Amino acid sequence: MEKRYGVLRFIATLWKVLAWVALVVGILGAIAMLVGGLAGGLLDETTMRQMGLPPNLSGAFLGIGGFVGVLIAAVLQFFGLYAFGEIISVFLSIEENTRATRLWMERSMLPPQPMM
């Protein structure tokens, strides 16, 4: 049986690839947050005060917190994007199975052909 809706199949695959790209970029961003935090922090005391945070709250604490936050966000984004691609694939599979069932039922309902 022929595969139909080639563009939708491509779009579903594209969403899945984008999900993996987003996960890799998110993990790299999380590692950058951790390294930046552990390397002494990116914020000086003046910036910390302007943000309303205690000036001694920087470095490792913000690096680890940022790492965890970015990592969680990346994983959630991955699941959302990948699930969207899978939803499209499931709808395409339902269509294909429905069409195959219809063809099977049409063939089974035909009267037997007489032999000559």
Q: How far apart are CA 93 and CA 97, in angstroms?
A: 6
CA angle (49 as vertex; 46, 54 as ends), nearest 5: 120
**CB < 8 Å & 24+ apart, contacts of 84-87:** 84/15, 85/11, 85/12, 85/13, 85/14, 85/15, 85/16, 85/19, 86/12, 86/16
At 58, is the pLDDT very low, low, confident or very high (cuts 50, 70, 90)? Answer: low
pTM passes above 0.85: no
Q: How far apart are CA 4 and CA 30, in angstroms?
A: 40
Distances (CA, A) of 72 to 30, 68, 75, 88: 9, 6, 5, 25
Mean pLDDT of 73-87: 98
* The predicted structure's pLDDT at residue 55: 65
Is residue 16 over pLDDT 90?
Answer: yes
Tell me how crowded residue 73 is: count the other CB atoms within 10 A of its CB.
14
